[in-house]
Structure 1
């Protein structure tokens, strides 16, 4: 995973980010900025302040394990989320630590944080304080439940955000319970919105000369997506909140069992539906009033899906796919996560990468890449995550101009 020389620059080169984020929602946002070329300086308390450092599995002298965190072990979460970043330690609870942070603010373009409610104000590193020091700062805050929070006292974990957002109510089978989306979707979606907001604010700053506060919440990010499926109209007209592996409004559109697995069929328009019926050996269904148009098919989706699965269940996945592919009907196998995570094409295209430890090199774990391809710029993650405080001397010494004696005093006082 070494960086390769390229003729193209990274699009955000020259921008400096102070990264005060923890867990996933914030660090994923700064990871994106780092992949786009920004200099990201991750700030943690001496000893480590990111709660992700305690997430198993860990990597250490005994390889990857799920045991207790031992000296020298590093969470795979940190190895994945701190790529392309610099690491410094700084005690923001101390006056000396805050003063160093304010000096860094004078040299920065972006501050990114996702602290709990009130933390940045208590530490004196909130937007108003930072703006007074550097009016050009773009200050991004990813919150769980909004600023101010809509649910005082509630901890914003991905599962609680999914529950409050209504997303769980749309996920799972109609006759089953609300179901959590399999990945931490709110933690991953909110930083995408935040990066869009940051880049928009940078464009506006180029015109006005002033920065601004960009605020994105995990809850609002998920809620904003629900209306795209017209769930309110569907439920008022008798459709279930949860449609499982099917999508009644677009029927036939879903996952169907075969003799040896599952396939996904998306025959939403009338032409594809007729071709599907022909493949099934039941072309007359195209003239059945229940299935003759998208509206009737939505109402009778359950009956239609049963007929389709009777056909798919009598054949292998390969047979179903071949039959439908010959007719141009969208149909693919349902791949397992492990199949995808070992797909060489996904590594070639940069969507996946081999995870690398700063000392041990490439390890037996996969990390997400950056699926952005640009014709005149380089995007990607080429540096492994640094060890905690690896860049103290460069950032505090070279950038801020502190000499070796001053740095030693700061270390002895546990400021850095």
Structure 2
């Protein structure tokens, strides 16, 4: 990036009160797009994610006890493009310093447990009294007020309540958790959308507002996309494993050395698939001649396809279907293959993480998979040590004297 290239959100200041993943991923996205993100953490401890193994330090990557210059890989990944300050929000002085920062900011984003910001005196109602233009975003597990009061909103809990778990896995197996913390990742993306929309609204009207996002709402809205209410009512199982019967043939099939994903619901793709397996006459079979009957007889069709793929290598299946006939088909790649795909690093979707002192480490982190034609964006600033920006923010932005800052440190406020 050259000196004259501004980022999309340059000039926007964000006060970040988030912890774990459901909020920090959102504030990191804002930082990658150019916002100045000031991450507020408790003195002496900070985000609980700082204690997540594995750690990186003087002894490389390890899963032992954190010591010395060790930093959690979690923090190296999620705390990039943020300025870390410490602040005791439970103290009167701490709350006042926060309010002064809020007066000089555009956005507050938080994902504390329900009622916490009100107890601390830093909720939207209090903040907007000091800054009516503030965009105040809250990410909660089950909304606020919660329909499940007292229940901690961990990702697996939200997956269970959303119905997503019940539609994931095989019909004859148990409900299955998604392999990634999908609720923790989806909710902050919706929050960022809401923040950007609220900033546009403020640009037109001068009005700030509160943006509320529920992890449960986000996942439930996704479950509704597939009309499971209608499918189950008509006798279809809610779980189809690696297959999607409404679009049969559509699924993951075994090969001699792995698995392939095949999509062939379009007429020309179906014809190419059946020619490949040597059974073009199945096009005239009333069970498979059109999409409606194929949905009812997806199991029988998948068995035929599995019989063919399981006798061939992954490369041979891809060659027969994709290369020769244009049928969508791809190998099922292992995570390590994906994380070391140079094309994904070149695109910026993935990137090597850096330790704030030691530099690059042997670990891959999330990139920012958004490209702008005129304004660069990326997570290119390494995670800061806890309180690493205290002098810059308190001394520079709030104009506190060295004596005042020293007194705050001695009192445990920062």
TM-score, normalization by structure 1: 0.98
Report the counterpart of residue 329 of structure 2 in structure 1: 331
User: Take 1:384 and 1:102, find their aligned partners in 2: how far apart are those partners?
Assistant: 27
Q: Distance in 1 between matches of 2:404 and 2:104?
A: 20
1:340 match: 338
Distance 1:266 1:71 in 2: 51
Q: Which residue of 1 aligns with 2:298?
A: 301
Query: Matched residue pairs, number?
Result: 413
Partner of 1:116: 113
Secondary structure of 1:141 counterpart: strand
Offset, 1:48: 2.4
Unmatched 5+ stretches in structure 2 = none
- Is 1:25–2:26 an aligned residue pair? no
2:240 paired residue number:
243
Q: Which residue of 2 aligns with 1:410?
A: 408
CA distance in 2, matches of 1:238, 1:164: 23
Per the TM alignment, residue 74 of structure 1 is displaced from its structure 2 partner at its CA by 1.4
Mapped contact 1:250–1:298 kept (Cα < 8 A): yes
**Alignment map for 1:11-410 (pairs within 5 Å):** 11-325=8-322, 326-410=324-408
Structure 1 residues 249-286: Cα deviation after superposition (integer angstroms, max 9, x where no partner) = 00000000011111100112122111110111100000
* 8 Å CA contact 1:6, 1:378 repeated in 2: no
Q: Give RMSD over aligned pairs.
A: 0.9
SS in 2 for 1:72: coil
- State the distance in 1 between where 2:67 and 2:115 align: 32
Unmatched 5+ stretches in structure 1: none
CA distance in structure 2 between the partners assigned to 1:374 and 1:6 by the alignment: 17
The 8 Å contact of residues 270 and 294 in structure 1, kept in 2 or not, is answered as: no
1:72 CA displacement = 2.7
DSSP 3-state at the match of 2:325:
coil
What per-residue deviation string (whole Å, max 9, x for no partner) do you get for residues 28-75 of structure 1? 000000011000000001112211111111112211111122243211
Q: CA–CA distance in 2 between the matches of 1:374 and 1:401?
A: 35
The structural deviation recorded for 1:7 is 5.0
- How far, CA to CA, are the matches of 1:77 and 1:375 in structure 2? 30
8 A Cα contact 2:88 2:412, kept in partner? yes
- Mapped to 1, the partners of 2:390 and 2:304 lie a distance apart of 65
Aligned to 1:224, the other structure's residue is in SS state helix
Cα deviation, 1:339-394, whole Å, max 9, x if unaligned, reads: 00010001000000100011000001110000001111111111100111111011
Distance 2:392 2:369 in 1: 31
- What's the secondary structure of 1:335's corresponding residue? coil
Matched residue of 1:256: which SS?
strand
Q: Whole-Å Cα distance in 1 between the matches of residues 5 and 291 of structure 2? A: 48
Structure 1 residue 117, shift from structure 2 partner: 1.1
Deviation at 1:319, TM superposition (A): 0.8
CA distance in 1, matches of 2:368, 2:43: 30
Distance 2:289 2:45 in 1: 62
TM-score (norm. length: structure 2): 0.98
* 1:356–1:384 CA contact under 8 A, matched in 2: yes
Contact 1:80 1:367 in 2 (8 A): yes
73-82 vs 336-345, greater mean Cα deviation: 73-82
- Structure 1's 6 and 251: CA in aligned 2 closer, same or farther, altered over 3 A? farther
Task: Kindly provide the CA deviation profile for residues 115-166 of structure 1, in whole angstroms up to 9, marking residues without a partner as x.
Answer: 0011101100000000000000000000001110110111100000000000
Point out the more displaced range, 228-237 or 279-288.
228-237
